[in-house]
Structure formats: structure tokens, C-alpha cells
């Protein structure tokens, strides 16, 4: 019999083994939470008072939390565009995907973990107003997709690129 670290070889780890909060079929009720330290620092490090995602992370604004990690949260957006649409946000304030590659990478990892059991989906983030960013705190949309779900993404090449 193998014991210790070798005993897990060949077996997939679940969320509990990775120290994560597992996703439950019923989302947690929307309720403010207490402050949680963001990735890389204290609860106030980099936080912006006027940032809605910083307020959610600080527990000062309600959110329907789907999953929590030490470095990020997955929440239901105010206006989901497909059933199961989630936003993954880092606990520290980073304006967009290009500001801090380490935070962006850890946030993408969490988005990928959310996508694991969804099947077909989009993971989308935007950088800047021209790219449709409307909240300037890094966030990744995880959008479950189904045939004929009615969501048309505006990714038709401009005439000069066809």
C-alpha cells in the first residue's frame, strides 16, 4: 500500500484537496461578507472606494458568491447574459488584464476552474473602453454556451481584415 504524497498519484484532486470552496448546486445568498485579504496584501491595499468589485471583496456591497478562493471570487453578474454566467474577480484591485500579469494569470486560472464542468463556454475579459470594458477592475466573464442560445458576440472582422 502506498501512503503519503505518492498515494494521490493518478487520482484527480477535488476542490477540497486543493483547499478551495466547492461549487454547490444552489448559489450562496447575496449577503455582505467581512473583509478578506486580497491577493498579495491587506484588505485595503489597492482598493478603490468607487470600484464596485472592491466594495464586494471588502464585504461593503452584496453579491451572489458562487465560489471563493484566497485570491479571487466568482460572483453572479447583475445582468447575466446566459444561464450560469459568472464573473471571476481578483481580491486585489487591478484595473485590467495588462496591469499585473501575475494577478491576471491567477484570475484566469480561477476562471478555467469555473469552466471545467461547464462544457462549451467563453472566457472573456476586456481592456479599455474601446474593448467594451465598463468596470475598471479586472474581471473575467465565464459564459456557458449552448447552440442557439441567442448570444451574438461582436467578433466579425472589420472589412479591412477580411
What pLDDT score does 7 carry? 38
- Band of residue 160 on the pLDDT scale cut at 50, 70, 90: low
The model's confidence at residue 154, banded by pLDDT at 50, 70 and 90, is low
Q: SS3 for 68?
A: strand
139 catalytic per annotation: yes
Q: Among 32, 140, 15, which residue's Cα sits nearest to residue 89?
A: 140
Catalytic residue among 93, 137, 139, 141: 139
**In degrees rounded to 5, what are phi and psi of residue 65?**
-85, 125
Amino acid at each position: 500500500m502506498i501512503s503519503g504524497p505518492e498515494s494521490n498519484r493518478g487520482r484527480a484532486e477535488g476542490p477540497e484537496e486543493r483547499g478551495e470552496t466547492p461549487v454547490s448546486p444552489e448559489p450562496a445568498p447575496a449577503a455582505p461578507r467581512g473583509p478578506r485579504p486580497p491577493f498579495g496584501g491587506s484588505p485595503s491595499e489597492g482598493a478603490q472606494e468607487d470600484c464596485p468589485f472592491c466594495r464586494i471583496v471588502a464585504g461593503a456591497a452584496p453579491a451572489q458568491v458562487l465560489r471563493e478562493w484566497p485570491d479571487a471570487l466568482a460572483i453572479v453578474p447583475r445582468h447575466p447574459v446566459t444561464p450560469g454566467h459568472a464573473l471571476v474577480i481578483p481580491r486585489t484591485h487591478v484595473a485590467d488584464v495588462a496591469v499585473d500579469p501575475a494577478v491576471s494569470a491567477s484570475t484566469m486560472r480561477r476562471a478555467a476552474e469555473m469552466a471545467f464542468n461547464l462544457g462549451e463556454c467563453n472566457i472573456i475579459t476586456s481592456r479599455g473602453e474601446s474593448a467594451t470594458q465598463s468596470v475598471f477592475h479586472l474581471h473575467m466573464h465565464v459564459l456557458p454556451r449552448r447552440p442557439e442560445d441567442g448570444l451574438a458576440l461582436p467578433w466579425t472582422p472589420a472589412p479591412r481584415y477580411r
